[in-house]
Structure formats: structure tokens, C-alpha cells
């Protein structure tokens, strides 16, 4: 693995996870470098976060392409031209083609605001409340062609209290996301994390269940 690991972050909006990845990078400059931030939306606030940190940005608007595959190919072209080793989806709100997910298989991560396999897709916080769940959380996983369905790496849990609404729960989950995501990128950079035969391997062992953030700090 080339060091520091060169990553691209794909966003569509606020980019608070991108900010956490930037902040961690600035504190640990030897672990990874952010070579590129791509947004499919020109007004994504995350682009300003990247520019402020001096990171190259590209806007690739999906509406400029006739179909999903040609949009994905345009992104792939930019990513590969930069020699990126890991693609990090951080609030990127487009479904990816099988061609794209296959190309980056084992080299692309996503963070999702639920304890997968519960609640793939949107509105996860409200669903957890409506179902009377006692806990909620986030999952970091390798990306496959199945939406929010790739092999899990790390989860973090938060307690749902009776006063919680979707906004307060989202806030709690976000706080954990900002700790979890840089850590997983770090593990990948340190070569501790692989996808082999459809399974996550961590420190040379296959994972039978996702790691728990509460049990790890490094
Ligand atoms: C996060 O909740 C993440 O889990 C989901 O999209 C949200 C992005 O938030 N995939 P932000 O743009 O990083 O603030």
C-alpha cells in the first residue's frame, strides 16, 4: 500500500463526515491524503469545506449525463486519473451502477445511518423511532452493487430516548459517525482491512460480525 493512502471523497451535501475526515487527516498527515472531493451538486456545502482545506474539488452533475453508467464513468475517469486508492462515500446521494461498484470492489466504503441490515435507504431515524427501537446507530461497510448491502466493517450504537425526534437522533448518530469514519479509513490505510471473497477481514481474520466503535479507540 502506498503511503499516505490517497483517497477520494464523494459527497452530495453538507459534508460533515468529510469535515471529520479532513480534521483527522490534519492531525495525522502520514496516514492518508485527500486527493479529490467530487460532488454531484454544485451547491453542496462540503465543497466549501474541501476548498477551505486546499483539497481539489470537481462538480460532476448527474443531470449532464444521459444515464447512470455514463455519469459513473465520468467520475471513474476523474478518480482514476488522480491515482486514488480508496473511494469514500460520505453522504453521496446517487445509486451507483454495477460497473462502478465492481471497478472499486474492495476499494470503496460507505457510511449509513442505521444498524444495517436494518433500514437501508432513506429516513432511517424516523423509522427507528416509529418502530419503537431502543437503539439506533450507524454502519460503515464495503460497497457492492446492493444498496447499503455490502459487507459490514464497523457499527456504533446510540440509545433512543423517549424525547428523541428524528432531528435529535440524527444529531446523536452524526457525532458517532465523525469518530467512526476516519478510524475505518485509517484501518484501510494501515492495511488492516480487506474485502476477500465477499467477506470483511480485519487484522488477518474474517469478521463474523461488525466491529463495535464502543470497543475500540484505535
Ligand atoms: C450521514 O448521515 C451518512 O451516514 C449518510 O449521509 C449523511 C451525510 O451527512 N450516508 P454529511 O453530509 O456527512 O453531514
Average pLDDT in the 194-206 region?
97
3-state secondary structure of 209: coil
C-beta separation of 185 from 109 below 8 A: yes
User: Which pLDDT belongs to residue 3?
Assistant: 81
Average pLDDT in the 35-51 region?
98
3-state secondary structure of 145: coil
Range of weakest confidence among 29-33, 119-123, 138-142, 212-216: 212-216
Q: Is residue 17 within 6 Å of ligand 1 at its C-beta? A: yes
Q: Indicate which residue's Cα is closest to atom 2 of ligand 1.
A: 113
Atom of ligand 1 nearest to the CA of 14: 12
Between the CA of 12 and the centroid of ligand 1 the distance, in Å, is 9
Between the CA of 51 and the centroid of ligand 1 the distance, in Å, is 19
User: Which pLDDT belongs to residue 216?
Assistant: 82
Report all structural domains of the chain as residue ranges with CATH numbers, in order of start: 1-104 (3.40.50.170), 112-218 (3.40.50.170)
pLDDT digits (tens, 9 = 90+) for 105-138: 999 999 999 999 999 999 999 999 999 999 999 9
Residues in Cβ contact with 43 at an 8 Å cutoff, skipping those fewer than 6 apart: none
To test the pocket of ligand 1, the residue of 177, 182, 185 to mutate (highest count of ligand atoms within 8 Å of its CB) is 177
To test the pocket of ligand 1, the residue of 34, 111, 153, 167 to mutate (highest count of ligand atoms within 8 Å of its CB) is 111
pLDDT digits (tens, 9 = 90+) for 57-112: 999 999 999 999 999 999 999 999 999 999 999 999 999 999 999 999 999 999 99
User: Which pLDDT belongs to residue 40?
Assistant: 98
User: Which pLDDT belongs to residue 77?
Assistant: 98
Quote the CA–CA distance of 26 and 40 in Å, as a whole number. 25
pTM assigned to the model: 0.97
3-state secondary structure of 159: strand
Average pLDDT in the 6-16 region?
98
pLDDT digits (tens, 9 = 90+) for 149-190: 999 999 999 999 999 999 999 999 999 999 999 999 999 999
91: alpha, beta or left, given left = phi > 0 and alpha = psi -120 to 50? left
What band does 217 get if pLDDT is binned at 50, 70 and 90?
A: low
Between the CA of 91 and the centroid of ligand 1 the distance, in Å, is 4
Amino acid at each position: 500500500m502506498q503511503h499516505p493512502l490517497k483517497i477520494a471523497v464523494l459527497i452530495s451535501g453538507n459534508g460533515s463526515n468529510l469535515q471529520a475526515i479532513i480534521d483527522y487527516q490534519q492531525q495525522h498527515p502520514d496516514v492518508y491524503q485527500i486527493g479529490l472531493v467530487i460532488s454531484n451538486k454544485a451547491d453542496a456545502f462540503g465543497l466549501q469545506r474541501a476548498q477551505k482545506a486546499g483539497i481539489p474539488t470537481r462538480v460532476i452533475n448527474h443531470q449532464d449525463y444521459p444515464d447512470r453508467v455514463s455519469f459513473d464513468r465520468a467520475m471513474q475517469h476523474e478518480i482514476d486519473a488522480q491515482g486514488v486508492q480508496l473511494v469514500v462515500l460520505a453522504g453521496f446521494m446517487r445509486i451507483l451502477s454495477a460497473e462502478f461498484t465492481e471497478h472499486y470492489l474492495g476499494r470503496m466504503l460507505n457510511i449509513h445511518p442505521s444498524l444495517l441490515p436494518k433500514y437501508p435507504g432513506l429516513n432511517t431515524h424516523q423509522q427507528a423511532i416509529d418502530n419503537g427501537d431502543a437503539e439506533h446507530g450507524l454502519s460503515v461497510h464495503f460497497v457492492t452493487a446492493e444498496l447499503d448491502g455490502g459487507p459490514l466493517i464497523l457499527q456504533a450504537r446510540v440509545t433512543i430516548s423517549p424525547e428523541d425526534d428524528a432531528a435529535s437522533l440524527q444529531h446523536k448518530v452524526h457525532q458517532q459517525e465523525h469518530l467512526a469514519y476516519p478510524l475505518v479509513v485509517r484501518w484501510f490505510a494501515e492495511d488492516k482491512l480487506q474485502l476477500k471473497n465477499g467477506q470483511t477481514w480485519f487484522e488477518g481474520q474474517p469478521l463474523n460480525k461488525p466491529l463495535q466503535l464502543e470497543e475500540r479507540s484505535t
